[in-house]
């Protein structure tokens, strides 16, 4: 080999070593997408820890349920830094309320990607903590047999929604697309209420757009069996594709939002017309929100703000509901159980408490009611004994 060839070979070797070193540095600062995950199930329930069942003037049985929805901005470094103290303040506030028996009875979290964020549910001392999709959890592109397949990979029988023509081909790796998942779904539902059913579902591999593709977004669903009630209550949590933060065109982000809405709809098919409380990407009237299950179900309503802290039931197309609250909770009643919002409060928005996240907290008090003479449905969980 002559001198020019040696110089070229030496330069290529230096470049290869530099690229390898850069890859090692980048890999070393990537967040550990499995480190934050918490999952906790209860084998029994404590009746004293549940909201009291009372009797209305019309003879119906009722329970007040306090639900807290909070997108806690638990994003890891280098995406965010210095979030530890504010996440600790969120956890401390919830823990103190719980200790004083002031709720929440159901805690719903978004963007709990870091250990400090998922610890919010742990510090609240809830009996059950149900996470959303894990980092290695995937939706099968076809319809294989359901079940655990080994390692940290789960598969479900629901197929991904087919993307529009050219959508997958438009993926760009420098926008976070097509390079795999770095984080889990960041979703949690925590409660003391007895539940015997919980599952989660990740969105399809092509059902995302932009930097949102770096997290394994999807949905979580639980079925709550209230002692004495004739039917269960379902609680649903999802985080769909963002718009501007995704880093891609609005049109592409909204296409992903519709795909994910369709997959949410398929996931919710087993709920049917039963009672439901739903939390999700309800901070804008998005493309999916206009066409999905919640938009087409005449029984579904938003827990919107009324006068003061009073609540009102609003349809999905109510513009005032979307502008009055950054995040929203939706609900539907069933023939056996009525769900009504009594109060709505926006907290930690700079007016009602300091700003602790890029989303304020939404606190909703729901009233569940049912006929006193209706046969109670089984709870499927024993009471705890000392």
Q: What is the pLDDT of residues 26-45, one digit of tens each?
A: 444 455 667 889 999 999 99
Q: In the predicted model, what is the mean pLDDT of residues 222-246? A: 94
Q: How far is CA 151 from CA 109, 113, 158, 172, in A?
A: 26, 21, 20, 29
In sequence order, which residues have a C-beta less than 8 Å from that of residue 46 and are 6 or more positions away? 127, 192, 383, 384
pLDDT tens, residue by residue, 98-124:
999 998 999 999 999 999 999 999 999
Q: What is the pLDDT of residues 175-220, one digit of tens each?
A: 889 888 989 999 999 999 999 889 999 999 889 999 999 999 999 9
320 pLDDT tier (thresholds 50, 70, 90): very high
Beta strands in the chain, from DSSP E residues, in sequence order: 53-55, 61-74, 106-112, 128-131, 147-148, 154-155, 188-191, 195-202, 218-224, 233-238, 275-279, 300-305, 311-314, 329-332, 338-347, 361-370
Rg (CA), the chain: 23
Q: How many angstroms separate the CA atoms of 29 and 49, rounded?
A: 42
Q: Say whether pLDDT at 331 is over 50.
A: yes
The Cα 125–Cα 99 span in angstroms is 9
pLDDT at 142 over 70: no
pTM of the model: 0.88
CA distance 194 to 187: 19
Q: Report DSSP state, residue 198.
A: E
DSSP string, 316-381: TT-HHHHHH-SS-EEEE--SS-EEEEEEEEEESSSSSS---SSS-EEEEEEEEEE-TTSPPPP--S
Q: Where is average pLDDT lowest: 157-171, 241-255, 274-288, 347-361? A: 157-171
Contact 95, 6 (CB under 8 A): no
Distances (CA, A) of 63 to 229, 270, 271, 332: 10, 25, 21, 16
Residue whose C-alpha is closest to residue 312's, from 281, 340, 284: 340
Tokens representing 283 are 């901070």
Q: What is the pLDDT of residues 252-281, one digit of tens each?
A: 999 999 999 999 999 999 899 999 999 987
Judge whether 103 and 111 are in contact, CB under 8 Å.
Answer: no
Say what percent of the chain tops pLDDT 90.
68
């Amino acid at each position: 080999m002559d001198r020019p060839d040696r110089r070229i070979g030496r330069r290529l070797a230096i470049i290869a070593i530099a690229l390898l070193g850069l890859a090692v540095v980048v890999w070393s600062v990537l967040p550990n997408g499995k480190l934050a995950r918490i999952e906790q199930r209860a084998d029994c329930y404590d009746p004293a820890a549940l909201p009291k069942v009372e009797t209305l003037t019309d003879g119906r049985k009722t329970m007040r349920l306090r639900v807290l929805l909070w997108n806690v901005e638990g994003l890891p470094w280098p995406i965010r830094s210095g979030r530890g103290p504010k996440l600790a303040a969120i956890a401390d506030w919830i823990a103190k309320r719980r200790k004083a028996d002031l709720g929440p009875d159901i805690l719903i979290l978004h963007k709990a990607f870091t250990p400090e964020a998922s610890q919010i549910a742990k510090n609240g001392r809830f009996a059950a903590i149900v996470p959303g999709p894990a980092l290695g959890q995937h939706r099968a592109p076809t319809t294989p047999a359901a079940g655990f397949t080994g390692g940290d990979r789960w598969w479900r029988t629901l197929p991904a929604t087919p993307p529009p023509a050219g959508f997958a081909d438009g993926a760009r790796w420098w926008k976070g697309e097509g390079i795999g998942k770095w984080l889990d779904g960041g979703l949690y539902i925590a409660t003391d209420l007895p539940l015997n059913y919980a599952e989660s579902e990740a969105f399809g591999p092509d059902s995302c757009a932009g930097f949102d593709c770096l997290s394994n977004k999807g949905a979580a669903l639980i079925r709550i069996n209230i002692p004495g009630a004739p039917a269960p209550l379902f609680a649903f949590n999802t985080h769909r594709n963002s718009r501007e933060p995704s880093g891609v065109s609005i049109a592409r982000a909204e296409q992903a939002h519709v795909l994910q809405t369709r997959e949410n709809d398929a996931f919710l098919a087993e709920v049917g017309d039963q009672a439901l409380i739903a939390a999700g990407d309800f901070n804008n009237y998005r493309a999916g929100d206009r066409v999905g299950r919640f938009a087409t179900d005449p029984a579904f309503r938003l827990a919107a703000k009324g006068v003061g802290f009073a609540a009102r039931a609003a349809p999905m197309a109510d513009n005032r509901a979307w502008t009055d609250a950054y995040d929203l909770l939706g609900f539907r009643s069933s023939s056996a159980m009525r769900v009504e919002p009594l109060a709505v409060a926006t907290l930690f928005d700079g007016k009602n408490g300091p700003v602790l996240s890029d989303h304020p907290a939404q606190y909703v008090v729901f009233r569940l009611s049912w006929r006193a003479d209706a046969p109670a449905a089984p709870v499927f969980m024993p009471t705890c004994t000392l």
